[in-house]
Amino acid sequence: MAFLVRSSGAVVKDRETMEEILGTCGVSLELWPVQSTDRTAALLSRDSPGTEEVEEILSEQDRYFQKLREAHGYQTRDLVVVYPELPGLSAMLDRFRPIHYHEDDEVRYVVDGEGVFGFVLPDGDQVELLVEKGDFIRVPRLLEHWFRLTETRRIKAIRYFTGTAGWVPVYTGTPSLFSGETARTA
Ligand SMILES: [Fe+2]
């Protein structure tokens, strides 16, 4: 289950309270069961599924894509696959760790593994949210946030896009109130 950590170190595990806090900065968090057959479950557990296998994983979850397409106009989806030995992993993580925003929503559905999103709340406080398999999250455009992995360094997440233009990090230079790996140990 996802949980949230305040900059004070207080941990919030109650889903309703989490959604309320996240709602103050426009983030939506939903729990969507990951659809899988024995075969796709096996594919999901692989470090690095091939192109056709990735398509199988994506297709399995396309009922959600269809819903998003109809409700919000998302046009494309792909699968981000991260594992400890992924070439270029450190550089990739370095891009998303500093506080930044995007010109478009950041929409992720975690289908395997886990990761941590951080958000700057309207009052200037910050929270970290651990997301794992089954968590669907939408980070609204222009909201200051960051992303990091947990010590497992393993996540697979479907990304949904309305377009590819504008989806780059814009760094704001806001200092993080989180010094270490708080959410990991909560
Ligand atoms: Fe981002």
Q: Do 142 and 101 meet the contact criterion of CB atoms below 8 Å apart? A: yes
What confidence category does residue 186 fall into, taking pLDDT thresholds of 50, 70 and 90? very low
pLDDT over 80 at 162, yes or no: yes
Helix H or strand E segment including 156 = strand 155-161
CATH number of the domain where residue 33 is located: 2.60.120.10
Strand, coil or helix: what is 164? coil
Task: Specify the pLDDT at position 185.
Answer: 45
Count: domains in the chain: 1
Return the HEC string of 52-112: HHHHHHHHHCHHHHHHHHHHHCCCEEEEEEECCCCCCHHHHHHHHCCCEECCCCEEEEEEE
Q: Residue 80's Cα: distance from chain center in Å?
A: 10
Q: What is the token pair recorded at 61? A: 């979850």
Residue 34 Cα to ligand 1 middle (Å)? 23
Residue 174 Cα to ligand 1 middle (Å)? 14
C-alpha 74/C-alpha 92 separation (Å) is 24
Task: Specify the pLDDT at position 166.
Answer: 58
Residue 30 Cα to ligand 1 middle (Å)? 18
Q: Do 174 and 120 meet the contact criterion of CB atoms below 8 Å apart? A: yes
Residues annotated in the binding site for Fe(2+), as ranges?
Answer: 100, 102, 106, 145
**pLDDT tens digits for 94-145?**
999 999 999 989 999 999 999 999 999 999 999 999 999 999 999 999 999 9
What confidence category does residue 72 fall into, taking pLDDT thresholds of 50, 70 and 90? confident
**pLDDT tens digits for 10-47?**
999 999 999 999 999 999 999 999 988 899 899 999 99
Half-sphere exposure (CA, 13 Å, Cβ side) for 174? Answer: 21
Residue 17, judged by CB atoms within 10 A of its CB (0-12, 13-18, 19+), counts as exposed
Domain carrying residue 100: 3-185
Task: Specify the pLDDT at position 167.
Answer: 72
Residue 177 Cα to ligand 1 middle (Å)? 17
Residue with tokens 């305040």: 6
Query: What mean pLDDT is reported for the chain?
Result: 91
